[in-house]
């Protein structure tokens, strides 16, 4: 539903160029309209599978952005915004050569080796499914994973079109439990100086996970302060610096938020891109 064309990646791999991530001007598969009780569609069953010959380049570029594949499916864990795709891609080929069936538990992701299995948990209602990731996408800013119609229905996100999700890889013989819905206590807001004082956003309801956009992580605090100042001058007043210690060094992460909803994330992301921060990353603690 939210996918963008991968025609610019035609030189990568033959199947990647015709993956379901592209907006095909073709008629959907013949059975897309059949009556299916998706509440009874079983989760994907994780198995030991050899990485596909197709759709697994070490890196690839789509719409001007380069993506580098994770070394393995095992251990992958991330949080972000899920979208879904349905009948317009039903019956088309996925990046690993399979046929997309909107009534099965499948998904698309930009960086995990395919096929890969993952538990996807809707952080807003606690519902979860296990899907087989067999496709590339979604190539839209601020989207982590594209779910099949069946998976999206099970997560109760068809109406909204998007959901905040936790995605955790599942390998054969293991099935991690669904991620907790309640978010941890948000990090404290720190201001580098009175001149760079930031305005804290209104607290979101405790039942809702919090979303932030991270514009960068700096080794020098002065660089983080400069970024906050640049944002403030341009009207972005929710920025703060979060010092994080890792392996004996401190990184100063500049984040903005919390942001109330996905529409707000998309608007802020576009604004940040215009200010020179095109790779701002969604953070859901």
- pLDDT above 70 covers a percentage of the chain that reads 76
The upper half-sphere exposure of residue 139, i.e. CA atoms within 13 Å in the direction of its Cβ, equals 22
Residue 267's contacts (CB-CB under 8 Å, 6 or more residues apart) are none
pTM of the model: 0.78
Task: Pick the more confident residue, 175 or 244.
Answer: 244
* C-alpha distances out from residue 18 to 24, 89, 93, 136, 266, Å: 9, 11, 7, 11, 27
pLDDT, position 225:
97
What is d(CA 263, CA 2) in angstroms, rounded to the nearest whole number?
14
CATH number, domain containing residue 27: 2.40.40.10
- Do 211 and 164 meet the contact criterion of CB atoms below 8 Å apart? yes
* Same-domain pairing of 37 and 90: yes
- pLDDT above 90 covers a percentage of the chain that reads 64
pLDDT, position 180:
60
**pLDDT of 190 over the 70 cut:** no
- Do 135 and 20 meet the contact criterion of CB atoms below 8 Å apart? yes
The upper half-sphere exposure of residue 156, i.e. CA atoms within 13 Å in the direction of its Cβ, equals 8
- Do 231 and 192 meet the contact criterion of CB atoms below 8 Å apart? no
* Same-domain pairing of 139 and 205: no
* Same-domain pairing of 220 and 124: no
Please report whether residue 155 resides in a domain.
Answer: yes
Which tens digit of pLDDT belongs to each residue from 85-101? 988 899 999 999 999 99
pLDDT, position 188:
43
pLDDT, position 32:
52
Domain that holds residue 79: 7-169
* Same-domain pairing of 20 and 74: yes
Report how many domains make up the chain.
2
CATH number, domain containing residue 217: 3.30.70.1070
Task: Pick the more confident residue, 189 or 59.
Answer: 59
Summarize the confidence of residues 1-26 as an average pLDDT: 36
Summarize the confidence of residues 191-208 as an average pLDDT: 39
* C-alpha distances out from residue 249 to 222, 246, 274, Å: 15, 5, 31
* Same-domain pairing of 18 and 128: yes
pLDDT bin (cut points 50, 70, 90) of residue 13 is very low
* Same-domain pairing of 108 and 200: no
Which tens digit of pLDDT belongs to each residue from 23-67? 322 333 445 556 778 889 999 999 888 889 889 999 999 988 899
Query: Containing H/E element for 222?
Result: helix 221-233
pLDDT, position 181:
58
* Same-domain pairing of 150 and 213: no
pLDDT bin (cut points 50, 70, 90) of residue 148 is very high
* Same-domain pairing of 165 and 200: no
Which tens digit of pLDDT belongs to each residue from 211-239? 999 999 999 999 999 999 999 999 999 99
Task: Pick the more confident residue, 246 or 75.
Answer: 75
Please report whether residue 183 resides in a domain.
Answer: no
pLDDT, position 31:
52
């Amino acid at each position: 539903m939210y996918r963008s064309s991968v025609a610019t990646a035609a030189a990568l791999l033959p199947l990647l160029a015709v993956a379901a991530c592209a907006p095909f001007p073709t008629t959907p598969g013949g059975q897309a309209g059949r009556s299916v009780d998706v509440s009874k569609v079983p989760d994907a069953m994780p198995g030991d599978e050899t990485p596909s010959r197709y759709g697994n380049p070490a890196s690839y570029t789509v719409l001007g952005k380069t993506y580098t594949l994770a070394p393995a499916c095992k251990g992958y864990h991330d949080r972000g915004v899920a979208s879904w795709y349905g009948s317009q891609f039903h019956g088309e080929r996925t990046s690993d050569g399979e046929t997309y069936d909107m009534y099965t538990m499948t998904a698309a992701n930009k960086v995990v080796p395919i096929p890969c299995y993952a538990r996807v948990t809707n952080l807003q209602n606690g519902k979860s499914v296990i899907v087989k990731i067999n496709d590339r996408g979604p190539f839209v800013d601020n989207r982590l994973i594209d779910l099949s119609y069946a998976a999206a229905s099970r997560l109760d996100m068809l109406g909204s079109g998007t959901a905040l999700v936790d995605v955790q890889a599942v390998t054969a013989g293991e099935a991690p439990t669904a991620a907790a819905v309640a978010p941890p206590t948000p990090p404290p807001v720190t201001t580098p100086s009175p001149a760079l004082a930031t305005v804290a956003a209104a607290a979101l309801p405790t039942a809702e996970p919090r979303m932030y956009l991270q514009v960068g992580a700096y080794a020098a605090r002065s660089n983080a302060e400069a970024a906050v100042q640049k944002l403030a001058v341009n009207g972005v007043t929710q920025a703060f610096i979060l010092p994080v210690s890792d392996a004996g060094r401190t990184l100063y992460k500049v984040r903005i938020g919390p942001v109330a909803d996905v529409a707000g994330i998309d608007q802020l992301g576009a604004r940040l891109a215009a200010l020179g921060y095109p790779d701002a990353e969604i953070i859901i603690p």
